[in-house]
Structures are given as C-alpha cells and as structure tokens.
C-alpha cells in the first residue's frame, strides 16, 4: 500500500517497537519469513520500497538529471517517514513540515520528505489536496468526502449491473493500484479515455482487522472501513459463488491477474472472492461518494460499439429505443432493397 494511505500510516506499529516486533508483524501481514537483517528481500515490500525510492529521488541543481540523489537508502528511512505521519496525524501539514526541518539538516532529505506529502494530489476527479493548514486525518476525510450528506438515496441499492464486466461495455477501463487513497478514483487521460482505479489488496486488508484497536480518531472505525472497502470489491468483482451470471466479471479478473503477473506486478487473487454484505447506498459511508460518482459516470456513458449495444442490459425504454433504431437504420432499408430487386429477378428469369 502507498505511504499516504490511512492504513499505511500504521503499517509498522508504534515507533517504540523494536526491529523484531516490526519483522514479526510484517511476517504475519505478508505471509513471508522476514530475514533478520534485510527487510527489502520481501517481494511485496521490496516492490513498494523501490517504487517510493524512485518517487522520492531528488536531482541537485549542480548534477545531471541522470545522476539523481536517492533519499530512501534503507528501510529505516522509509520507517522514519511513516513514523512522522503516524505521530503527527493530528497536526497540520505546515507543522509537520516544520518538524521535519528541525530533525534534519540535509537539505535534499527535507525536499524529498516534503514531496512525499504530494501523494495526496494524485491525478483524478474530486482530488482534495492536502494544504498547509489541514491535518492528516482531516485531509483524508475531505478526500473521501465523508462530510457530504446523503440526499435522495435512502433505500436505493446499486444495480446488479454495477460490476466491472458490465461497466467495461461502456467506454470505461479499470486499472489496479497499491494506493488505498486512489481506490475508486476516476481518472481521465489526455485522449479523454476514462479509467477507474481499484485497490486490490484484499488479503492485506483482511489481516489488518482488529490490529488498530482504538488507534483511529472518533467516528473512523478501522474494521468498518476495512469491511466496507472489501465490500466495494465484491460489488465490482462479484463472486460467481454468491451471485448468478457473474462468471464474466470473475473470469475477467483472472485474466487481469495473468497479465499483471507477466509484468511483475501480481494482483491479489482474493479480491474476486469477497462476499458482499449490502448493496444499499446508505450503508456505505467511506466510499459512498466515489461509488456514486462511478454510477453517474456509467449512466452517462454509452457502449463502445454495435456488438456491445446488442449485449447491453438496458432498461425497458432504452431497449425499445435501441431496437427501433436497429430496425429503422438497418433492417428496414435492407428489406426495401430486397423488395426493389424482385422485379429485376423476374425479368432475368423471363429472359
């Protein structure tokens, strides 16, 4: 998971824990045996570490861009970043940055640590940047739009067509991310292609249940947050064991796993094995706003082509309009053309 996800702040436990305690926790979380001296050898942790090291590199003015300064040299550097966020999550961004400058004399290190906060400003719709006067927790709350009131949604449920396979029939793609804050984020590319981000780490989230035990702010229950996140995976990638006619979505994720594995970025297979607890919109608090944004996007999007139109599971009025258009645009002209050929056929036979 990315550094600035709500869960990653706690990923190594309290800063008072020793290396052995952190290693034991990592072993339980990732299901690997952590070597006594080199945490980087963990496949998943190593991938996460290398991605952050590249993200936080800094180029000094007097050096070539091809000779960057890598700030994260050891896993302890990464732990220090996480500890700062954890220990100061109730402080404002400006105060945290000031604390960093007091602790560190290395100018490059300060610049790199400051840039780590920019992870909140990832590309996507509805992104809430973390400003200097806002606390870490308040920024997360704003980014998830937790303060928005539920309007005209009481009792309404997400459709059974609200899954990756039926959504892909429209001009919408999916991309998997390790950053929990990007989960369900809508991105638009420079060619106006639309992509929905999905955080696939179901196994990690499941193992984090009960780990925090009151270490979160009031009203932000960690287990409820985890359960709701897993439930969003069940909505989008429904398990055929629990819902009929969802084999296509389940199988699609399997093909995505193979594709990502070839590029050395394995996806969590448990993401497609979650059993949803509810489809009622009012039962979602943390991800409700983003789910409704996706629902609106799907409603406003059209299938990619005639084949997708023909397989689209439309509402009655839309289905009637579609087949009337097919009849008027294709079938009727074809029939008239055949009728026009009949006299020519008779003339040819008589001659």
Asked if residue 65 and residue 200 are part of one domain, the reply reads no
Q: Which carries the bigger pLDDT value, residue 43 or residue 132?
A: 132
The predicted structure's pLDDT at residue 21 = 57
Say whether 211 sits in a helix, a strand or coil: coil
State yes or no: pLDDT of 5 exceeds 70. Answer: no
What is the percent of the chain where pLDDT is above 90?
A: 11
Asked if residue 240 and residue 299 are part of one domain, the reply reads yes
Asked if residue 68 and residue 5 are part of one domain, the reply reads yes
Length of the chain: 351
Q: Which carries the bigger pLDDT value, residue 311 or residue 343?
A: 343
Q: pLDDT of 39-50, one tens digit each?
A: 444 455 555 566
Report yes or no on 13 lying in a domain. Answer: yes
Give residue 10's domain range. 1-122
> What mean pLDDT comes out for the span 119-135?
62
Report yes or no on 37 lying in a domain. Answer: yes
State yes or no: pLDDT of 120 exceeds 50. Answer: no
Report yes or no on 40 lying in a domain. Answer: yes
Q: pLDDT of 95-110, one tens digit each?
A: 777 776 666 555 555 4
User: Which of 96-110, 220-234, 314-328 comes out lowest in average pLDDT?
Assistant: 314-328
Asked if residue 180 and residue 102 are part of one domain, the reply reads no
Domain boundary among 122, 154, 175: 122
Domain boundary among 69, 92, 122: 122
Q: pLDDT of 251-304, one tens digit each?
A: 889 889 888 888 777 788 888 889 877 889 989 988 999 999 999 999 888 766
Average pLDDT across the chain, whole number: 70
Asked if residue 7 and residue 94 are part of one domain, the reply reads yes
Q: How many CA atoms lie within 13 A of 128 on its CB side?
A: 16
Q: Which carries the bigger pLDDT value, residue 286 or residue 63?
A: 286
Strands 194-199 and 172-177: parallel
Identify which of 271, 267, 268, 264 has the alpha carbon closest to the alpha carbon of residue 50: 264
Measure the CA angle with vertex 242, ends 238 and 248; round to 5°: 40
Asked if residue 299 and residue 188 are part of one domain, the reply reads yes
Asked if residue 339 and residue 254 are part of one domain, the reply reads no
Report yes or no on 19 lying in a domain. Answer: yes
Asked if residue 175 and residue 292 are part of one domain, the reply reads yes
Asked if residue 209 and residue 60 are part of one domain, the reply reads no
Residues 6+ apart with CB under 8 A from 272: 233, 237, 239, 249, 250, 253, 254
Banded model confidence at residue 179, pLDDT cuts 50, 70, 90: confident
Banded model confidence at residue 334, pLDDT cuts 50, 70, 90: confident
**Number of domain units in the chain:** 3
> What mean pLDDT comes out for the span 335-351?
71
> What mean pLDDT comes out for the span 175-189?
85
Identify which of 226, 195, 197, 196 has the alpha carbon closest to the alpha carbon of residue 210: 226
């Amino acid at each position: 998971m990315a550094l600035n996800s709500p869960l990653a702040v706690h990923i190594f436990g309290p800063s008072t824990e020793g290396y052995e305690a952190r290693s034991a926790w990592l072993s339980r979380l990732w299901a690997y045996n952590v070597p006594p001296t080199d945490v980087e050898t963990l496949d998943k942790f190593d991938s996460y570490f290398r991605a952050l090291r590249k993200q936080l590199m800094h180029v000094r003015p007097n050096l070539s861009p091809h000779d960057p300064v890598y700030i994260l040299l050891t896993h302890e550097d990464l732990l220090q970043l996480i500890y700062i966020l954890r220990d100061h999550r109730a402080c404002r961004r400006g105060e945290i940055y000031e604390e960093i400058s007091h602790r560190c004399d290395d100018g490059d290190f300060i610049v790199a640590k400051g840039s780590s906060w920019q992870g909140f400003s990832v590309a996507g719709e509805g992104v809430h940047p973390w400003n200097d006067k806002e606390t870490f927790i308040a920024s997360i709350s704003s980014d998830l739009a937790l303060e928005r009131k539920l309007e005209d949604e009481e009792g309404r449920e997400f459709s059974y067509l609200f899954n990756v396979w039926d959504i892909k029939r429209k001009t919408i793609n999916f991309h998997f991310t390790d950053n929990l804050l990007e989960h369900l984020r809508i991105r638009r590319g420079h060619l106006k292609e639309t992509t929905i981000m999905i955080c696939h780490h179901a196994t990690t989230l499941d193992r984090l249940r009960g780990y925090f035990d009151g270490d979160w702010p009031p009203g932000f229950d960690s287990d409820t947050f985890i359960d709701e996140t897993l439930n969003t995976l069940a909505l989008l990638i429904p398990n055929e064991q629990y819902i009929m006619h969802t084999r296509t979505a389940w199988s699609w994720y399997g093909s995505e796993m193979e594709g990502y594995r070839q590029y050395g970025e394995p996806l969590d297979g448990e993401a497609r094995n979650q059993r949803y607890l509810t489809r009622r919109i009012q039962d979602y608090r943390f991800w409700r706003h983003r789910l409704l944004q996706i629902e609106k996007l799907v409603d406003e999007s059209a299938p990619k082509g005639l084949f997708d139109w023909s397989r689209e599971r439309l509402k009655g009025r839309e289905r009637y309009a579609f087949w009337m258009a097919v009849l008027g645009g294709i079938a009727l002209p074809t029939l008239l053309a055949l009728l026009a050929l009949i006299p020519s056929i008779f003339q040819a036979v008589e001659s």
